[in-house]
Structure 1
């Protein structure tokens, strides 16, 4: 099993948030560190109807807290099943870009609720900004832990609010000047979706784009600013040119949003080497001039990410909402059964 990020019990550093009312209490893992945990204080919000009424009234405050803290976790409230999670996210605007052609092997469960990922349980999913390989991306992402794994499986987060500032200035200048170009690969058309994928590139393009028509894939790509390249074996590569640094629309802070430093997450590294040799355009990102970051440059960015990557023991029913630019997410490998569901929010 791939090495996991260790977890630690969440310390209860109390944070007063009077605008949320007297029926909740808040705490953080550490001052200045996301997320803000919000829990019921007493039984008043442990009934579904009252909890949903409270979330509707508290939405503006929750929005402000997600922005301020980078994310929130609602714990101990009556979110037991998918329908409860769906009712909660209905309070937030949906990301209207959809997930057609998305990287992760996932399917829709109901309405706006999707699976987190079908990537093999043995793989550690590195922290990332959701859809960092795309021009259009959700402003926020919500997670619901319907069933926590018996061992591992914690959702990792990384506070990247000051990542660009901590990067070597010369590297920042190089990346900003050259930009990036991503290549994402999809397998040939497949008749059935697998329950688990050892590699994200194995999923068929029809399963990822939710259509059997290559012309519709081309249309969707054009709509999203993507360049499709079809191959003789029926597989597909999608290219995208991106700015690796963005300005947060609310804080005005310069943030790094890219997969330039990342290597594909795989179950068997030796098979990955063989796969990359077979692919005409290996999955990943290069600078705009076609050059990859050096090993030292990738290691530098990954080291900075590791310094602010952490997790905590999750509980059934936990709901987390992250600011997708300020806080990245990932997943520890796990054993047993795990049911984490997600929704893309604006």
Structure 2
């Protein structure tokens, strides 16, 4: 952390500080006066190279970011092509050239902490959020250190999740979840099948023409650069217990458990105990760091080191997202 303490003092005219405790997530970077973001790209690139692996998240605040195009130039400056949102689990709008809206869930709903696409075997290593318009109330993007979450998870729970992995089951369409055409960005069944085979996803076309998939994935992972262990899954999000009890009861009254829009099991197919998921949710809540958005903010996260979510909000809100540096885990690492 010595290098981080030096960064917190100053970096080439930029003010670098911590939002909370010294060195804690996120690091906040501000210019000495409001100035175009483009003028600082070279310094910011070096600062991120030093800071992001240690802190996991950097908040760029007080820069002049006149719209989505300036945000795009910023994320492109790190030298990696932006990723498309493949095998998505939530509705988003493609704004072009690798920029998307943040998850388009109703404003009154909270989105629990999670790492992007940690329900798959392939995910982005970097993710950026840009606040074009903060909401009138709420709408924060809470974040948390996935290393700290891993350390706080009960040892027996962590052992079981690590050994068994997780099986995510998804049923698309029928007005209950994303249609498969939107999740896979195609109308062609053959393209869906090829994608599933390549990514080790079991699939079946049901009698009603809809699609069901199953995939066994990691519950924890090691960061490929640092070797640090992180809590890296979306069991608490996919499990039916994430729904309000009345909604869960209504769904289970309408469809069999196997046909729920999404659910998750241990990797051997056995059910995950509700009390285990409540423990996980409690740890996530205890690790959450929350701060209000300011217009023009850009939050950059190492997707394996930092989880993110969304608080309910009122009033208009626009936060856009970009992702880069795809990483694939080998199935053998989960065994």
Tell me the TM-score normalised to structure 2 length: 0.87
Identify the residue that residue 259 of structure 1 maps to in structure 2. Answer: 234
1:311 corresponds to which of 287, 290, 294: 290
- 1:1-346 alignment, distance < 5 Å: 16-17=7-8, 20-43=11-34, 46=35, 48=36, 51-94=37-80, 98-188=84-174, 201-262=176-237, 263=239, 269-277=245-253, 278-279=255-256, 280-282=258-260, 283-346=262-325
Instruction: Say whether the 8 Å CA contact 2:18–2:24 is kept in structure 1.
Output: no
Q: Cα deviation per residue 1:129-150 (whole Å; 9 max; x = unaligned)?
A: 1101110001111000101111
Deviation at 1:105, TM superposition (A): 0.5
Deviation at 1:165, TM superposition (A): 2.3
Instruction: Say whether the 8 Å CA contact 1:103–1:184 is kept in structure 2.
Output: no
Please state whether the residue corresponding to 2:186 is helix, strand or coil: coil
Identify the residue that residue 333 of structure 2 maps to in structure 1. Answer: none
Q: Which moved more, 1:123-132 or 1:178-187?
A: 178-187
Deviation at 1:270, TM superposition (A): 2.4
Q: Do the aligned partners of residues 265 and 119 (structure 1) sit closer, same or farther apart at CA in structure 2, a change above 3 Å counting?
A: farther
In structure 2, C-alpha distance between the alignment counterparts of 1:225 and 1:72, rounded to whole Å: 34
Deviation at 1:33, TM superposition (A): 2.0
Q: Do the aligned partners of residues 166 and 17 (structure 1) sit closer, same or farther apart at CA in structure 2, a change above 3 Å counting?
A: closer
In structure 2, C-alpha distance between the alignment counterparts of 1:302 and 1:95, rounded to whole Å: 34
Q: Which moved more, 1:256-265 or 1:62-71?
A: 256-265
Compare the two structures and name the one with the higher helix fraction.
Answer: 2
Tell me the TM-score normalised to structure 1 length: 0.84
In structure 1, C-alpha distance between the alignment counterparts of 2:213 and 2:289, rounded to whole Å: 32
Deviation at 1:339, TM superposition (A): 0.6
Q: Cα deviation per residue 1:129-178 (whole Å; 9 max; x = unaligned)?
A: 11011100011110001011111111111222122222222222222221
Please state whether the residue corresponding to 2:123 is helix, strand or coil: coil
Q: Cα deviation per residue 1:114-143 (whole Å; 9 max; x = unaligned)?
A: 111111111100000110111000111100
Please state whether the residue corresponding to 2:283 is helix, strand or coil: helix
In structure 2, C-alpha distance between the alignment counterparts of 1:272 and 1:335, rounded to whole Å: 25
Q: Which moved more, 1:231-240 or 1:15-24?
A: 15-24
Count of matched residue positions in the alignment of Structure 1 and Structure 2: 317
Please state whether the residue corresponding to 1:30 is helix, strand or coil: coil
Q: Any stretches of 5+ residues in structure 1 without a counterpart?
A: 1-13, 191-200
In structure 2, C-alpha distance between the alignment counterparts of 1:59 and 1:111, rounded to whole Å: 21
Deviation at 1:328, TM superposition (A): 0.4
RMSD, aligned α-carbons: 2.3
Q: Cα deviation per residue 1:22-49 (whole Å; 9 max; x = unaligned)?
A: 1444332222420001011135xx0x3x
In structure 2, C-alpha distance between the alignment counterparts of 1:24 and 1:106, rounded to whole Å: 34
